[in-house]
A and B are shown apart, each in its own frame.
Chain A
Amino acid sequence: MLVRLIAQVRKEMLVVLRDPRSRAVLVGPPLVQLFVFAFAATLEVENVAVAVLDRDEGRWSHEVVERVRATRMAREVITVDSPAALVDALDGRDVLLGVAFQPDFSRRIEAGKVAPMQVVLDGRRGNSAQIALGYIGTIVADVNADIARARGGAAAEPVDVIPRHLFNPNLEYLWFTVPALVGILSMFSALIITALSIARERELGTFEQLLVSPASAGEIILGKCLPALIFGTLLASVMIGAGIFVYGIPFSGSVALLYGALVLFILSVVGVGLMISSVSRTQQQAILGAFAVGVPLVLLSGFATPVDNMPRALQLAAQADPLQHFLVIVQGIFLKALPAEAVWTHLWPIAVIAVVTLGGALAFVGRRLY
């Protein structure tokens, strides 16, 4: 039986590795992606353009504008001379936000009154707009402190809020995205390899040959699982290595725990892939099926936006998403030296999912066999 299994695994590996392009596509694109996308996925706001409509031209409006100019947020400050021009700049997406001062802005401040400053932001880029407004808020607080000092008023803020970011002191966004991409990219690899495996046999008509071979359903499943498991683990290892040695992300946790979780995670994905494969008649259906499942898994994983923000029902659905649990583990082991018991709270759901999906795959393929 072992001989049969080895022969089958060897054959499955050859199917993928025989073609030089399919060999290249297994390793090349994920690594390129790791380098490109790791830099892209940031929710910080930098280098945007800001429009200024300054009808005051006074000391304090200049002070605010200079401070805006000095932030990392602003790449350039565009001066406009009418509200209509401000509207055009926003409509045409030339600027993310505009700041407008009334003619009496500085005079009101000197007179000890409240001076409103209008901030208009592009709601189409709502997330960036919100973050940018946060920067503006800080600038306003600083200017107010200056005003108080200039007018010989009260001392600075009596309560100091000191933020300290643990595990990632400078909030390097790459430290978040690279470990997450390890999970996402190896998931898609394993999913597509297994989804195609049985569908390819059926499309090419070689499934009949498997049926008449002495291999049992369990052996066939195992034979289809192992190549995806091997490729997925290797790919993840290369990416983990790149994260540590190329990006310099600190790796603080246990390697053994990470690999234990990785193998279970890929097995759970492999089960999903095999189920898709056993119900697909063509490779096209299998690939599209893999996407129809893979994309929701990414959306629910908390990679793009936190699971906490989702509605209740989707938060529950996220509990059944192996990627969501794996991302907590891989990010925790990388940055937080996640202790074994904390790993376990996310590992057992993955194990349950793996048992369910592999069991399902066994049942599906078994039905085709008998």
Chain B
Amino acid sequence: MSRGDRRTGFSLPRLAAIVRKESLQVVRDPSNILIAFVLPVVLLFLFAFAVSLDVRGVAVGVAVEGDGAEARELAAAFGATRYFDTRFARHRRELEPLLVAGELRGIVVIPQDFSARAVSGRPASVLVLTDGSSPNTASFVANYARGVVTSRLEASRAESARGADDLGRVIAEPRFWYNPDLESRAFITPGAIAIVMTMIGTMLTALVVAREWERGTMEAMMATPLGIGEFLIGKLLPYFGLGLGATLLCAVAAEAWLGVPLRGSVPALLVLSAAFLMPALGLGLLISAATKNQFVASQLALFSGFLPAFLLSGFLFEIDSMPEPIQWLTRIVAARYFVAGLQTLFLTGDVRPELARSIWPMLALGAVFFALAAVNTRKRLD
């Protein structure tokens, strides 16, 4: 089908008409409004509360296998810490089935000869058994158990006359910048905004063109003098507006209800979000132009939009720690830049060079996705 002779370049009235048509389509389906404004806030809250790295009350068993004051004092030290929710037993065998069943995350074994060795100054040992099937919790339990034993030792050394200070020693004085109390909510919330916006932006747009094909209304579009550029921009502008509105809403919710400070400026937030919506919408458009089918489009949006934003954006999992090829792959995940930019904007402020470093790659990715989408749409239209 040839439309070339009827196309007269870029026309604003035509663009306005298609924007109006798409906007009406968005507004008249109440589920869109629900998706754009209610779902983000609900998800944001879920992320803020359900995704928490603030460990407390880990269920740990303490097997005190011997008698003696030293063993009892150490067991009491384990009982006193708020990071562990302890359960005592006389032998590790009583606790092991609970570890298998997942009711305990670790077992601290204070062996029979512990007190005798401690009193006579021979080296004593404490065994920490952990549930390796949850590796993070396992290493937390092992490290924290070591911490409890060490501080118990320091306390008893301080009790005895000989101070440790005359030997000279290093102490580490940690400071967590931008987030002094190290609340995980403070850094997870900005990351969550990026994930929610990926969902909204990529998912919604992935479905719009696919739907036209599936319903056969694409034929009607082809019969009009509409150009590719007008068609794509017209499809996206309403969703761009929706996305920007949803981002602002999320930011307000984060600041007002979740207590995450927004130290940067609102204009910077708008610029950053607008830059992110380019690749997010562009990817959605590319998917829908290439698939023509809503089922395929939704699966691809899940696998190229949501899951990478969740797993490869660095919002929870450190990018530097991933294997080299996967680190390389994260560079084409737009959410990666948005997460970094948002965390900086919320917790640090308008650090211009860092924000610019987030914005340029997103714009570049956006341009690539749009170009690919235009090529794909043109092939089908001609």
**Residues of A bordering B, CB below 8 Å:** 16, 19, 21-22, 25-26, 29-30, 32-33, 36-37, 39-49, 60, 64, 75, 90-93, 96, 108-130, 133-134, 136-137, 140-141, 143-144, 147-148, 151, 153-154, 157-169, 171-173, 175-176, 188, 192-193, 196, 200, 203, 282-285, 287-288, 290-292, 295-296, 299-300, 304-306, 308-311, 314, 328, 331-332, 334-339, 342, 345
Question: How distant is the Cα of A137 from the Cα of B320 in the complex, in angstroms?
Answer: 21
Q: Is the CB of A157 within 8 A of B153?
A: yes
Nearest residue (CB) in A for B299 is A25
Question: How distant is the Cα of A52 from the Cα of B88 in the complex, in angstroms?
Answer: 44
Q: Is the CB of A159 within 8 A of B51?
A: no
Q: Is the CB of B316 within 8 A of A127?
A: yes
- Residues from chain A with a CB closer than 8 A to the CB of B137 are 306, 308
- Among B35, B133, B177, B179, contact of A167 (Cβ-Cβ < 8 Å): B133
Shortest CB–CB separation between residue B195 and chain A, in angstroms? 9
CB of B348 closer than 8 Å to a CB of A: yes
User: Top 6 nearest A-B pairs by Cβ distance?
Assistant: A123-B179, A168-B132, A165-B132, A163-B142, A29-B303, A123-B176
Q: Is the CB of A196 within 8 A of B354?
A: no
- Residues from chain A with a CB closer than 8 A to the CB of B357 are 92
Question: How distant is the Cα of A290 from the Cα of B128 in the complex, in angstroms?
Answer: 43
Question: How distant is the Cα of A191 from the Cα of B126 in the complex, in angstroms?
Answer: 48
Q: Is the CB of B322 within 8 A of A166?
A: no
- Among B57, B132, B153, B204, contact of A166 (Cβ-Cβ < 8 Å): B132
- Residues from chain A with a CB closer than 8 A to the CB of B76 are none
Q: Is the CB of A284 within 8 A of B211?
A: yes
Nearest residue (CB) in B for A96 is B320
- Residues from chain A with a CB closer than 8 A to the CB of B187 are 123-127
Q: Is the CB of B51 within 8 A of A304?
A: yes
Q: Is the CB of B175 within 8 A of A120?
A: yes
Interface string of B88-119 (1 = CB under 8 A from A): 00000000000111100100000000000010
- Among A123, A162, A296, A306, contact of B128 (Cβ-Cβ < 8 Å): A162
Interface string of B139-180 (1 = CB under 8 A from A): 100110111011001000000000001111111111111111
Shortest CB–CB separation between residue B289 and chain A, in angstroms? 13
Q: Is the CB of A287 within 8 A of B326?
A: no
Q: Is the CB of A126 within 8 A of B50?
A: no
Nearest residue (CB) in A for B294 is A283
Q: Is the CB of B173 within 8 A of A119?
A: yes
CB of B321 closer than 8 Å to a CB of A: yes
Contacts A41-B311, A48-B318, A92-B353; is A126 near B168 (CB within 8 Å)?
Answer: no
Q: Which of B295-326 contact A (CB under 8 A)?
A: 295-296, 298-300, 302-303, 306-307, 310-312, 314, 316-318, 320-323, 326
Question: How distant is the Cα of A172 from the Cα of B133 in the complex, in angstroms?
Answer: 9
Q: Which of B26-55 contact A (CB under 8 A)?
A: 29, 31, 35, 39, 42-43, 46-47, 49-55
Shortest CB–CB separation between residue B21 and chain A, in angstroms? 16
Instruction: Identify 5 new A-B residue pairs, CB closer than 8 A, beyond the known A129-B176, A314-B49.
Output: A91-B354, A123-B179, A124-B344, A143-B170, A166-B131
- Residues from chain A with a CB closer than 8 A to the CB of B39 are 288, 292
Contacts A39-B326, A120-B175; is A159 near B125 (CB within 8 Å)?
Answer: yes
- Residues from chain B with a CB closer than 8 A to the CB of A96 are 320
Q: Is the CB of B299 within 8 A of A41?
A: no
Q: Is the CB of B129 within 8 A of A166?
A: yes
Question: How distant is the Cα of A192 from the Cα of B300 in the complex, in angstroms?
Answer: 12
Residue with the highest number of chain B CB atoms closer than 10 Å, among A21, A49, A314: A21
CB of B377 closer than 8 Å to a CB of A: no
- Residues from chain B with a CB closer than 8 A to the CB of A33 are 303, 307
Shortest CB–CB separation between residue A284 and chain B, in angstroms? 5
Q: Is the CB of A151 within 8 A of B302?
A: no
Q: Is the CB of B132 within 8 A of A171?
A: yes
CB of B86 closer than 8 Å to a CB of A: no
Q: Is the CB of A118 within 8 A of B102?
A: no
- Residues from chain A with a CB closer than 8 A to the CB of B53 are 126-127, 130, 305, 309
- Residues from chain B with a CB closer than 8 A to the CB of A299 are 46-47, 50-51
Shortest CB–CB separation between residue B297 and chain A, in angstroms? 8
- Residues from chain A with a CB closer than 8 A to the CB of B124 are 158-160
Shortest CB–CB separation between residue B175 and chain A, in angstroms? 5
CB of B182 closer than 8 Å to a CB of A: yes
- Residues from chain B with a CB closer than 8 A to the CB of A153 are 167
Q: Is the CB of B317 within 8 A of A165?
A: no
Q: Is the CB of B133 within 8 A of A336?
A: yes
Nearest residue (CB) in B for A301 is B50
Q: Is the CB of A140 within 8 A of B303?
A: no
- Among B47, B51, B169, B344, contact of A115 (Cβ-Cβ < 8 Å): B169
CB of B8 closer than 8 Å to a CB of A: no
- Residues from chain A with a CB closer than 8 A to the CB of B347 are 123-124
Q: Is the CB of A328 within 8 A of B102?
A: yes
Contacts A25-B299, A144-B169, A291-B203; is A126 near B186 (CB within 8 Å)?
Answer: yes
